[in-house]
Amino acid sequence: MLSLETEIAELSERVSRSVVRVECRGGGGSGVIWRADGLIITNAHVMQRPKATVKLWDGRQNKAQLCGYDAARDLAALRIDADELPAAQAGDERDLRVGQLVFALGNPHGSESSLTAGVVHAVGPLSGRRAQPWVQADITLHPGNSGGPLFDTWGTVIGINSMIVYGLALAVPASAVAEFVAPAQRRPMLGINCEPVTIVQRSVAHLDLISREGLLVVAVAGNSAAARCGLLIGDIVTGVASEDGIFKAPTQLERLLSNVNLGSRMTLEIVRAGKRECRDVVFDYPPGQHSEAA
C-alpha cells in the first residue's frame, strides 16, 4: 500500500504532464492542455500579446497563437501545432465540498511543476469581485501560477487558477472553461487587449485643454475582428457610434460584446494620432476558423 506522500507525488507527476509554461512578451504564467489536439487554456491576464511560446512538460517549445479571449472570465485559449498531447481530465466544480483537499500546479518564480496544497473554502461569487462564481481555496499561489490547474485528489481539474483575493486563491470553475471552449457557446471576439487611459487634447480654439476617457489598445490578435477592421496597437477606443457615453473601463466594452452574435456589425469610435476616426467591425470568424477555440 502506497503512503500518502507517495500517492501525492505520483498524482503531481501525472497532472504535471498536462501543465505548460506560457511565455509572452510583457507577461507569462502557466497553462493547461485542455485538448490533445493542441488547445491550451490559460488566464486572459497572462496573455499581454496575441502570440506566446508554450513550453511542454518534456521540454519541447511551441509557438502559440491566441484564438479565444474572455477578459470577464479571465480566460484565454491558445493553439499550438501539436497533437496527441496529454490533455487534462476536466471535472465539475459543482461536485466539490467545503474542506475538500485540492492542489495547484504551476510555474511560480521560474520553478517548473511547483505543487501547493490546501482545502476548498467555498464555491460561488465573492464579495467585491465580478458576479461570476469562483472556486475559492485556502491555498498558496505565486506569480507564475496564473493559468495553471486547480485539481482534486483524483487528478481532475476543477478550475484554472487566477488570483489571490482576501488571502484566498480564486480559480475559474471548470464549468466556465467548458462553456468558453464549447462550439455552441463561443461568441465572436473583438480580439484586443486594452487598458483605460485619459486623453488630453487642445480645444479647437487652442485656448484650453480637454480631457476624455478611452481604452488604449495594447494588443491585437491576428486575423481577429479587430485586425480585419484595421485596429492597431496604440489606437484609443472611445466608444460605439450607436451608444451614448464613452468607455472608461474594459468592462464597459465587455458588456457590449457579451450580446454580439455572428454577423453583427459595430462602429467603434477611436482616436489615432490625435485624430478621431470610425472603424466598422464585422463580428464573424475568419475563413477556415470554426466557432470554437481552434
139-193, pLDDT tens digit by residue?
988 888 899 999 999 999 999 999 998 889 999 999 999 988 875 345 667 888 8
Residue 41 pLDDT exceeds 50: yes
Per-residue pLDDT tens for 46-104?
887 778 899 999 999 999 988 887 877 889 899 899 989 999 999 988 888 999 999 99
Mean pLDDT of the chain: 83
Q: Identify the pLDDT of residue 47.
A: 85
Residue burial 143-180, b: 16+ Cβ < 10 Å; e: rest? ebbbbbbbbbeebbbbbbbbbeeeebbbbbbbbbbeeb
Q: Identify the pLDDT of residue 211.
A: 64
Sheet holding 236-240, edge to edge: 192-202, 209-220, 236-240, 264-272, 275-283
pTM of this prediction?
0.67
Provide the 8-state DSSP code for 7: H
* Alpha carbon distance 60, 62 (integer Å): 7
For 192-283, CATH gives 2.30.42.10
Residue in the structure block whose three cell numbers are 475563413:
287
* Alpha carbon distance 228, 244 (integer Å): 25
Which of 16, 18, 114, 146 is catalytic? The answer is 146
Residue 261 pLDDT exceeds 60: yes
Q: How confident is the model at residue 2 (pLDDT cuts 50, 70, 90)?
A: low
Q: Identify the pLDDT of residue 288.
A: 36
Pick 4-80's CATH classification: 3.20.20.10, 3.50.80.10, 3.30.465.10, 2.40.10.10. 2.40.10.10
* Alpha carbon distance 27, 23 (integer Å): 7
Is-catalytic flag, 45? Answer: yes
* Alpha carbon distance 292, 181 (integer Å): 6
Radius of gyration of the chain (CA): 20
* Alpha carbon distance 215, 250 (integer Å): 7
What is the CATH architecture of 89-181? Beta Barrel (2.40)
Alpha-helical (H) ranges within 17-109 are none
The mean-pLDDT minimum among 13-27, 124-138, 268-282 falls in 124-138
Q: Identify the pLDDT of residue 213.
A: 84
Q: Where are the domains of the chain?
A: 4-80, 89-181, 192-283
Which of 16, 18, 70, 74 is catalytic? The answer is 74
Which of 37, 45, 113, 284 is catalytic? The answer is 45
Same fold, 4-80 and 192-283: no
Q: Identify the pLDDT of residue 184.
A: 39
The mean-pLDDT minimum among 117-131, 230-244, 248-262, 270-284 falls in 248-262
Other beta carbons within 10 angstroms of residue 199's beta carbon come to: 15
Q: Please give the torsion angle defined by the CA atoms of residues 23, 24, 28 and 29, in that order, rounded to the nearest 10 degrees.
A: -50
Per-residue pLDDT tens for 119-144?
999 998 877 666 678 999 999 888 88
Percent of the chain having pLDDT more than 90? 39
